[in-house]
């Protein structure tokens, strides 16, 4: 008998609505779920609740259990794709018999996890005992299925459904994932997206079967993850490790252009990745005198410092202003002052409308929180829209119904482009955080193009006031003060600002708040002899020679642009770039003999992969211990051996193993210790001798170095007392990238509050947006960027008496940092000079730049490509099998693409769609895949359109081949493919609907 359980505590009110993307009508569940929701609504309004207003009676509990059972049955497909029931069986023991538990475990072993989940649900739904549903939810929580728990608790599976496109992408990329990703490296960064038992199983598989098998296991676990953040967590984990798989793993929806809603499944569009530097939102320490939100139910007036009032003054005068002030000085409070003044200045009957742009989700979330807490107490309405929340939100209503709107900038770009918002005149004030990014194709610049077109086009509509916030305006590639002034003027022209506000009158007060650490440069010599590098370099030369033999076999230098390596240096980023260029060239490499083409491309891939690993090991050896570099290679070759290898891999592995004994010997020789590590040890020991309470951030370039240095400190008897922590990613509240916000906060909180954790080893994440006020020692370990990054990195050390060390063996690195310091001084001098200009003269200068830039912009206007009327082939992108001709493609309702004719139906197979839905005249029924043996590449979906059964294909499933030349090309979007498009014509279809081949 099961133990007595409390009656189910399902939250009635949370289930009153079914999300738009999962409307019951779309799933033929309308009557079922509507009855369930209405019953909960009636009971909620009657005051009957679980855990709120009293317990349900036995009959009520039984009724609710029946409803839960029906809903669980309706949404069972989501559960079976997500749940591994063996992880929760121990928590369900009171409700399951021993033979049922054994049956479920056997089902997983013999048929797989989904079949085991289906059997688990069958047994679960047959339960009649009271409390089974609550027991199931509790089991999910205990096991770590937080996403699935939330979905079932609210009967809202939208978040889990949104992960499907990423699951499909990961399935397609699984071969590349297992050959390029080291699961041991990224597991610590993505562990929060997995069940703890899954993490243990991945580690066990890596140990027993090798890294490739571990990578396969990791893919299997990610495909079942119910954590909404896992796609972007994986993305940043890969980027931190500088893993080239990250170039294939495209997840940032906010950076995509707006397009018509298309029916194609799992559309992943590729785009160029741009990195924009940023500073923290400074939402915690707005002002020393600010009262906490809980201090009073009424709003306490802001108590700004004098320098903050000085920064806000021009903007409060109504002038378009760039506010340039150091990291940590409280620019967020300045923006609150400006907003409040702006909104209060309007006479009765008129209203202001403010939009605040935040580049990244963490800043967006924190600024939204800050603005909401302050302005809602004053009676203003605050709302926000980001790429993570925009899908089911009507932006025009958000703008219309609120006084202050927080946006990630691409949201506004999209809504201006598609006409949802008619113009920027709906706003009266725009604030750009990290405004130094307003250039090139950044969304800030796209917004300001719209603004400037309206301004220079003679529109009578009023334009909003513009405010920019930054710690550094930068100077670009300027080589002197005149060029720097010109660069800053162009930034001002882009933002239509005529004032640059800096602290001048209250500089002493600012310097009391924001400390500028002392900067020290430490140049150390590299190893005088490096036998490890000599051995690895010889192996690389041999491997290069083998690769060159491939080119010689061809008789002609088909890959001439990449077969030559100019001025190569092993163990450098330039060499890494060459390797990547070879692998990319192989993707479009063509030969008449396709088998020969496949053989050559595979051989080049293997050779370049080994060269890349050797190159990585040399970089680790240069900056850390030989032991760490050798361990890296040993793990790689263990992985290769475990996966089973062909003749090429056997030969390469044999050559490495022949050198392994000597490599082991030199790596264990104390005389080969890295001088840079000796100097780093000296700095740390000296500083902690002077101040045992020091708090240190150690910046390094890669995740591999983070791990190597952490291990080195922990194994060093003189430094192990530092108890190092690591910080390698940025979390985002909804769609997380890298470490989740909770994980990141946990690492930071431990560093701030745990006196034993005295050092934090971090990648670039910590120089951009992390507020660590008590840090007094910053060490840049072979770490340098541009002037903006230098200012932000230095700003991490804010405690009085802070120091900043740059430690390097490369004189060029020190020289670059000195150039950055020179550029910073040049920037400050340029700003001071511009501030002496007459405002009318400055405005005229800005206007002339704007006119000139608009002429250039208009002259380079996008020219619509002329449709290519020549017939082309579509080939499967995975196996290169023939699919159809462009002449067979038809456009349905402007944005969906189908193929007519019986021939195409023989090229694909269909499987019932896991999420059948209806959109307008379309009813999504099945998925279609390449029919060639061992391919099954995803081509799109099968739908019922009106009375016709038709395939709907997606362009990223195919390669386009020119029939005449044989040249092949990839397209990410249909709109980029300039072929002659013909509209769908029902008369072309064969009589009667076509059956699906399921």
Q: How far apart are CA 272 and CA 292, in angstroms?
A: 42
Q: How far apart are CA 95 and CA 139, in angstroms?
A: 11
467 membership: H or E segment, kind and range:
strand 465-470
- Contacts of residues 887-892 at CB distance under 8 Å and 24 or more positions apart, as own/partner, are 889/953, 889/979, 889/981, 889/982, 890/982, 890/983, 890/984, 890/985, 890/988, 891/981, 891/982, 891/983, 891/984, 892/945, 892/950, 892/952, 892/983, 892/984
- Give the alpha-carbon dihedral of 629, 631, 633, 638, to 10 degrees: 180
The CA–CA distances, whole Å, from 709 to 681, 745, 749, 803, 809 equal 11, 22, 21, 20, 17
Q: How far apart are CA 210 and CA 641, in angstroms?
A: 8
Contacts with 926 (C-beta within 8 Å, 6 or more apart), sequence order: 910, 911, 912, 913, 941, 942, 996, 998
- Tokens, residue 980: 């002659």
Task: Please list the alpha-helical segments (H only) found in 836-863.
Answer: 839-859
553 membership: H or E segment, kind and range:
helix 531-554
898 membership: H or E segment, kind and range:
strand 896-899
Contacts with 678 (C-beta within 8 Å, 6 or more apart), sequence order: 524
- Tokens, residue 900: 């007519």
Contacts with 928 (C-beta within 8 Å, 6 or more apart), sequence order: 908, 909, 910, 938, 939, 940, 941, 942, 951, 953
Pair 311, 319: CB distance under 8 Å: no
Count the Cβ atoms, other than its own, within 10 Å of residue 554.
13
Nearest to 989 by CA among 869, 888, 870: 888
Nearest to 227 by CA among 198, 192, 267, 183: 192
780 membership: H or E segment, kind and range:
strand 777-781
Phi/psi at 530 (5° precision): -140, 85
Contacts with 282 (C-beta within 8 Å, 6 or more apart), sequence order: 328, 329, 330, 331, 332, 333, 771
Half-sphere exposure of 479 (CA within 13 A, CB side): 0
The CA–CA distances, whole Å, from 63 to 39, 59, 130, 217 equal 10, 6, 11, 41
> In a 3-state reduction of DSSP, which class is residue 816?
helix
876 annotated ligand-binding residue: yes
The CA–CA distances, whole Å, from 240 to 204, 701, 705, 762, 765 equal 24, 9, 11, 10, 9
Q: How far apart are the first and last CA of the chain?
A: 44
Pair 971, 960: CB distance under 8 Å: yes
Q: How far apart are CA 371 and CA 343, in angstroms?
A: 13
Q: Which residues of 5-23 are buried (b: 16+ CB within 10 A; e: fewer)?
A: bebbbbebeebeebeeebe
Q: How far apart are CA 590 and CA 593, in angstroms?
A: 9
879 annotated ligand-binding residue: yes
Contacts with 120 (C-beta within 8 Å, 6 or more apart), sequence order: 83, 85, 89, 104
- Tell me the binding residues: 876, 879, 930, 935
- Tell me the binding residues for Zn(2+): 876, 879, 930, 935
């Amino acid at each position: 008998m099961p133990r007595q359980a409390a009656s189910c505590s399902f939250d009635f009110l949370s289930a009153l609505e079914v999300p738009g993307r999962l409307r019951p009508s779309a799933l033929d569940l309308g009557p079922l779920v509507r009855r369930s929701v209405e019953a909960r609504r009636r009971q909620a309004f009657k005051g009957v609740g679980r855990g709120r207003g009293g317990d349900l009676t036995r009959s009520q509990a039984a009724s609710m259990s029946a409803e839960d059972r029906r809903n669980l049955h309706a949404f069972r497909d989501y559960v079976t794709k997500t749940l591994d029931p063996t992880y929760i069986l121990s928590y369900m023991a009171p409700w399951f018999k021993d033979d049922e538990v054994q049956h479920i475990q056997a089902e997983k072993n013999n048929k797989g996890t989904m079949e085991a989940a289906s059997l688990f649900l069958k047994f679960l739904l047959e339960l009649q005992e009271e409390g089974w549903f609550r027991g199931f939810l509790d089991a999910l929580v205990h096991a770590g299925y937080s996403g699935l728990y939330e979905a079932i608790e609210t009967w809202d599976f939208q978040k889990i459904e949104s992960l499907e496109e990423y699951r499909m992408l990961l399935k397609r990329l699984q071969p590349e994932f297992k050959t390029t990703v080291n699961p041991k490296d990224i597991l610590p960064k993505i562990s929060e997206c997995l069940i703890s038992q899954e993490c243990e199983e991945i580690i066990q598989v890596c140990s027993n079967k090798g890294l490739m098998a571990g990578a396969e296991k990791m893919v299997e676990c990610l495909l079942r993850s119910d954590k909404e953040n896992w796609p972007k967590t994986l993305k940043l984990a890969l980027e931190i490790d500088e893993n080239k798989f990250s170039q294939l793993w495209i997840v940032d929806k906010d950076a995509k252009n707006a397009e018509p809603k298309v029916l194609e499944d799992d559309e992943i569009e590729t785009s160029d990745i741009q990195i924009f530097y940023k500073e923290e939102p400074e939402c915690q320490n707005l002002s020393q005198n600010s009262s906490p939100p809980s201090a009073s139910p009424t709003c306490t007036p802001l108590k700004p410092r004098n320098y903050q009032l000085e920064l806000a003054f021009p903007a409060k005068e109504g002038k378009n202003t760039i506010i340039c002030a150091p990291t940590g000085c409280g620019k967020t409070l300045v923006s609150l002052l400006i907003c409040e003044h702006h909104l209060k200045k309007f006479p009765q009957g008129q209203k202001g409308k403010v939009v605040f742009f935040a580049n990244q989700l963490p800043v967006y979330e924190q600024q939204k929180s800050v603005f909401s807490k302050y302005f809602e107490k004053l009676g203003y309405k605050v709302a926000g829209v980001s790429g993570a929340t925009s899908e089911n939100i009507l932006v025009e209503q958000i703008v219309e119904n609120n006084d202050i709107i927080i946006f990630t900038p691409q949201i506004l770009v999209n809504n201006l482009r598609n006409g949802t918002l008619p113009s920027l005149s709906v706003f009266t004030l725009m604030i750009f955080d990290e405004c130094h990014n307003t250039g090139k194709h950044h969304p800030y610049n796209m917004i300001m193009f719209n603004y400037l077109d309206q301004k220079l086009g003679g529109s009578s509509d009023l334009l909003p006031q513009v405010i920019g916030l930054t710690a550094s305006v930068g100077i670009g590639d300027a080589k002197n003060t005149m060029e720097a002034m010109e660069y800053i003027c162009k930034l001002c022209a882009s933002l239509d600002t005529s004032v640059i506000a800096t602290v001048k009158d209250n500089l002493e007060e600012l310097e009391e708040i924001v400390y500028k650490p002392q900067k020290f440069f430490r140049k150390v010599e590299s190893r005088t002899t490096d036998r490890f590098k000599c051995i690895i370099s010889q192996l690389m030369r041999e491997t290069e020679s083998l690769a060159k033999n491939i080119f010689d076999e061809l008789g002609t230098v088909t890959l001439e642009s990449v077969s030559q390596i100019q001025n190569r240096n092993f163990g450098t980023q330039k060499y890494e770039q060459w390797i990547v260029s070879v692998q990319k060239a192989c993707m479009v490499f063509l030969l008449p003999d396709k088998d020969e083409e496949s053989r050559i491309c595979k051989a080049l891939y293997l050779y370049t992969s080994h060269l890349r690993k050797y190159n990585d090991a040399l970089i680790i050896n240069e900056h850390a211990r030989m032991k760490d570099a050798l361990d890296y290679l040993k793990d790689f070759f263990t992985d290769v051996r475990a996966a089973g290898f062909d003749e090429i891999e056997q030969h390469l592995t044999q050559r490495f193993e022949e050198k392994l004994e000597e490599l082991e010997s030199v790596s264990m020789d104390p005389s080969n210790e890295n001088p840079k590590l000796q100097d780093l040890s000296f700095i740390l020991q000296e500083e902690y001798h002077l101040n045992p309470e020091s708090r240190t951030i150690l910046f390094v370039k890669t995740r591999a170095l983070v791990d190597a240095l952490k291990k080195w400190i922990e194994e060093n008897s003189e430094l192990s007392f530092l108890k190092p922590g690591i910080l390698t990613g940025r979390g985002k509240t909804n769609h997380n990238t890298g470490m989740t916000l909770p994980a990141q906060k946990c690492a930071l909180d431990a560093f701030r509050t745990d006196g034993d954790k005295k050092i934090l080893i971090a990648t670039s994440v910590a120089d951009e947006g992390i507020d660590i006020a008590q840090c007094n020692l910053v060490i840049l370990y072979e770490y340098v960027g541009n002037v903006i990054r230098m200012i932000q990195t230095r700003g991490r050390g804010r405690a009085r008496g802070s120091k900043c060390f740059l430690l390097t063996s490369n004189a060029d690195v020190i020289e670059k940092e000195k150039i950055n310091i020179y550029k910073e001084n040049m920037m400050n001098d340029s700003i001071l000079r511009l501030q002496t200009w007459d405002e009318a003269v400055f405005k005229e200068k800005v206007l002339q730049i704007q006119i000139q830039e608009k002429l250039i912009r208009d002259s380079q206007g996008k020219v619509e490509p002329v449709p290519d009327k020549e017939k082309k082939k579509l080939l499967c992108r995975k196996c290169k099998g023939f699919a159809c001709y462009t002449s067979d493609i038809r456009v349905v309702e402007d944005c969906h693409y189908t193929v007519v004719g019986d021939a195409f139906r023989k090229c694909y197979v269909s499987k019932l769609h896991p999420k059948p839905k209806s959109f307008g005249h379309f009813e999504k029924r099945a998925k279609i895949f390449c029919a060639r043996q061992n391919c099954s590449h995803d081509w799109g979906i099968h739908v019922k359109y009106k009375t016709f059964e038709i395939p709907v294909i997606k362009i990223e499933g195919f390669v386009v081949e020119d029939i005449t030349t044989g040249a092949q090309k990839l397209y990410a979007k249909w709109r980029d493919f300039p072929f002659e498009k013909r509209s769908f014509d029902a008369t072309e279809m064969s009589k009667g609907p076509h059956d699906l081949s399921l």
